Structure 1
Amino acid sequence: MNESRELKNAEQLEELLLLTEEIQEELEQKDQLIVELKTQLNESLTLNEKLNKENRAGNIQALKNDLKLADRALRSEKEKLRSANVTIGECQDKIRCLTQQRDYARTHQKIVEIPVEKPVLYKKCEACDRTAYQNAKARYETQKEQLAGQYKAKTVMFQTTLFLLAWYSLTTTLFQAVQSDVFLSDCKSFFHDAASFIQTFIGWTIDAGQSVAQISTKIPNEIIAGIIYWLLMILVVGICVAGTGILAILIEIKVIELYKKNCWDVITLLMILTSAAVIIYFGEVIKKALSINLLFFWLILQGIYLTIRRYISQDTD
């Protein structure tokens, strides 16, 4: 507030100074005019004297008229000078008052903190029902639901297309596998070898159980010895079979977890189908180059692929 008053006082001072300068210029011009009038009067007097000498009787009245006009002009100029002096005095008084006010304002300045209210976004007021905000929010929710529906529809369409392509690839690959004698023979041999391995493993467990159950022959009572024999044999065979089954289940669970974590995507599906198609279509060529079971070779490829994907995922993490 004090600064605004100082600015107003300074502007008024400048206006008064300009006004005094203009008045002084007018006074100087009027002084020059008076000097000119005096010179004209002197000239007229000299002219009057000349005329009196030449024709004193005819020009006396004209000279009187000129003198009256000059006297009136002098009086008007004197009145203007008086009014100008009065105005100059008033301006000087105003300048003194404004100067005093300015000096007082400079010596008595105070810092006043004016609180300013800041508008808050969507601030609830008494006379506001937030209709614009509610309408905008409703439009946003509607657009969000529409976009979510479109995204869901496109996702379902993509998954359906992918499923159809996978089903088509799988069926064509299986049909070709059925027609491939080399692949069928390798599949039969693979499952035959697996069954023979299981049979051999069961024979080993039975032999181990029988060898452990021979401890019961040292018991003199035949009934008790027979019961202990069968108990030991069942216990050993059960432990071996159960342990092997649990180990196989754990390995299977671990492989499934690795697939879900690192390979559960479209790339894995394409790799499985592509590798199976290559092995089925080019089985004879592969058998000539490598004397290996094709199904076992396909499983080895899957293990290599799983190892590579796991290594890549660990590097990216």
Structure 2
Amino acid sequence: MLNRRHIRIKVMQSLYAFKGHESDDLAKDEKFLMHSLDGMLDLYFSILALLTELHKKSKNYNEKLQKKLLGSDSDRNPNTKFQDNLLLNIISDNKMLQEVISKRKLNFWDLDFEYVDILFKDIKNSKLYEDYISNPETDLKTDKKFIIDIYTEIIAPNDKLYDYFEDKKLTWVDDFPVVNTVLLKVLGKIKLTSPETKLIPDLYKDEDDKEFAKELFKKTILNNSKFAEEISKKTTNWDTERLASLDGLLLKMALCEFQKFPSIPHKVTINEYLEIAKEYSTPKSSLFINGILDKIVKEYQSKALHPKTGRGLM
């Protein structure tokens, strides 16, 4: 589910919130980092729980129409294409997924049903819904496209839902774009023959990625003074405010990778932090960071310091 950039962003956020010192016990802060990373899975599963509740809502809505004493012909024979949606049925019928949602106590939509009602109403009133129910096609491809479209255009951009997630867990605000990308990718690959585990991604690609998160966090903190001193020597023409900001933190994390992670190429590290700076820092941050890191790498290479190891590394 997480790639290395997502991990770096989470480490950056945890380091930014870190209030301790190099000599402090890092166990508590490391636990916060791992909990924050795991929280991305909670957000992912809570969104699938929301889709399950929207599916349930469509069934209940049609049942109420059919039971209306003075209902019209259209009420007695409602369009059931939404409740028959193949992707929604795959999600709702996935016992393994529903057990995970229940175990993690993420099925909170029963209590906060008003958000389900709001989204269901928005979906019903949309042009996407109108086009969908009038489309004679009933295959998985058509049904997946509809769910992905309403999620992208109606559910994810909903301000009330965004505020709700922010109130539920503060870290979810930053996680939302990443989780949305993962969710849409997973849903897009679902087939009728897919195993139940297809909807339950692993948080990390492998154990190395999990260890990378822990080590990057700890080693950046434990070498904070050393990295700060090295950076200051290369930034005599830059103001201290910039170094005290997020830019300074990103530089320290990059130095940590240069010195403490010999298998990660310099180029990979630089590119990753430039992209993070573009997204999270100031417009000029990437230029500043690129200039400093390029200067440091050239010095390391000229003095044969902190060599990289492995095939194709530079």
> Which TM class, normalised by the smaller chain length?
under 0.3
Of structures 1 and 2, the larger Rg is shown by: 1
Structure with bigger helix share is 1
Q: Whose relative contact order is higher, 1 or 2, with alpha carbons under 8 Å and at least 6 apart?
A: 2
TM-score normalized by structure 2?
0.21
TM-score normalized by structure 1?
0.21
